[in-house]
Amino acid sequence: MAKIAGALMDKLRKQTEGMRGGLIISNKTFKKMRLRLLPCGGEVPGVEYLNLYFVHKKRSTTSPRTFGVPCPVLDVLDTIRREKDKQNKDFAKSVVNVQREYWLAVVDRSALGSPDNPSIRIHRSKRTVYQGIVDYMLDEDDGEDITDATEGRDIRVRKDGSDIDTKWKMTVLDREPLAEEEDMMDALISAAKTFDVREHFYACDLELLEEIYQALTGEAIPDSYKENFGALKDFGKKSGNEKAEEGEADAGSAETTESAETKESAEAAEPAETKESAESGADEPTETGTYEGLEVGAKVKFHYTDEDDQKHEIIAVVTALTEDADSGEPAVDVKDGEGEEYTVGLAHLEVVKEEEKPKPKGAVKKKSAKPKAKSKVKPKAKPSTAASKVRSSLKKAMKKKG
């Protein structure tokens, strides 16, 4: 096999530096990257970002709580969790899903930039990846600060598969300095001191937030919350609706594009709020947010391909209606019998119907002279009625809280 000469390898690397995207690394196009977390001055490396996915409209917005502002939707969900009412929990899941990420300030090892223009980027870390980073740093025997400029460590983040087969993996690599050249090292350390991922969070769409709250409670957001919303104008980039005309980001609302490089990255990705379900052939949500024949608690089956290309049939139970993190298409969160959790696209699911019990051989159905008694099983309430009952329960719970 002919190997690439070293000089050509360098030219190829230099050429691809401008092709690797903009400030925020796209999870949609992500495959494998070697990253270095920047020194964080004694702070935790990841900043929590909370996204609210509105199942009814397949759109997302940033929760105000991301910016330290009380969030009416999350407060309702907190109340539901404390009340431990299964009907309320199921109803809430059919309306809104909370998606949590941890934003990290990083450098891409293959594109550090230059001393005059160091290339700092943002990795929107999934929970499994960030949990691995935190676990490593907290390890009683080997725990160390992997963000240290001179004695820290790179991480390799890898996304295997796509759609229903997506798995994120993180590996901590050998110890090495942030940069070999002193001037590059100084430039990155200096840039890290003033770089704040919070300045690049997506904006809160207050109109969508109002719709989500009304879908949950049947009422408008109380004025006590709205009094604090004025502070949100100072946080976040453009909303998803404004961004949709310029280009699309791969989840949540979208960021402002300050440069051609950032715009190129944004256009390469797709947002949850603008992605239509037509591509996956999914049914439109009903009034309560469930899909035809599919709702929280339903038993489903699908096939999962592991890293050794071995296929497995998985039987699981639906825990939430959501979206695929990469494609933005409608999906569901499921949990199998061993507690493993997956996010599965609707096009890849098959609802498992309960098998009918076989009748005993020779069984004869006798005709009854008496009229059949009315069934004791109550008919399933219409979505609007069910929602009304849940909202009534929620109002009582919220009054107790107040």
Q: What residue spans define the domains of the chain?
A: 21-267, 278-351
Higher pLDDT, 299 or 20: 299
pTM for the structure as a whole: 0.60
Burial 105-126 (b: 16+ CB within 10 A, else e): bbbbbebbbebeebbbbbbbbb
Q: What is the pLDDT of residues 185-194, one digit of tens each?
A: 999 999 999 9
Q: Is residue 268 a contact partner of residue 249, using CB atoms and an 8 Å limit?
A: no
Amino acid at 108: D
d(CA 191, CA 214): 43
Q: What is the pLDDT of residue 4?
A: 66
Does residue 268 surpass a pLDDT of 90?
A: no
What are the backbone angles phi and psi of residue 397, rounded to the nearest 5°? -65, -40
Q: What is the pLDDT of residues 303-330, one digit of tens each?
A: 766 555 667 788 888 887 776 655 556 7
Q: What is the pLDDT of residue 309?
A: 62
Q: What is the pLDDT of residue 296?
A: 79
Higher pLDDT, 121 or 17: 121
Angle, alpha carbons 71-74-75 (nearest 5°): 80
Per mean pLDDT, which range of 29-38, 332-341, 342-351, 360-369 is the poorest?
360-369
d(CA 294, CA 288): 12
Q: What is the pLDDT of residues 328-359, one digit of tens each?
A: 567 778 888 777 777 777 767 788 776 544 54
Q: What is the pLDDT of residue 338?
A: 75
Q: What integer best gives the mean pLDDT of the chain? A: 74
- Local confidence band at 393 (pLDDT 50, 70, 90 cut-offs): low
- Local confidence band at 390 (pLDDT 50, 70, 90 cut-offs): low
The architecture in CATH of the region 21-267 reads Alpha-Beta Complex (3.90)
- Local confidence band at 179 (pLDDT 50, 70, 90 cut-offs): very high
Does residue 52 surpass a pLDDT of 80?
A: yes
Torsion sign (Cα): 36, 40, 46, 52: negative
Per mean pLDDT, which range of 290-304, 341-355, 384-398 is the poorest?
384-398
CA nearest neighbour of 62 among 200, 184, 168, 202: 202
Q: For residue 349, what are its two tokens?
A: 């699911």
Q: What is the pLDDT of residue 313?
A: 82
Q: What is the pLDDT of residue 387?
A: 63
Q: What is the pLDDT of residue 389?
A: 60
- Local confidence band at 299 (pLDDT 50, 70, 90 cut-offs): confident
CA nearest neighbour of 328 among 126, 70, 59, 125: 59
Q: What is the pLDDT of residue 41?
A: 84
Does residue 289 surpass a pLDDT of 60?
A: no
Amino acid at 47: V
d(CA 295, CA 289): 8
Does residue 366 surpass a pLDDT of 50?
A: no
CATH superfamily of the 278-351 domain: Calcium binding protein CcbP, beta-barrel domain (2.30.30.530)
Share of the chain above pLDDT 70, in %: 64
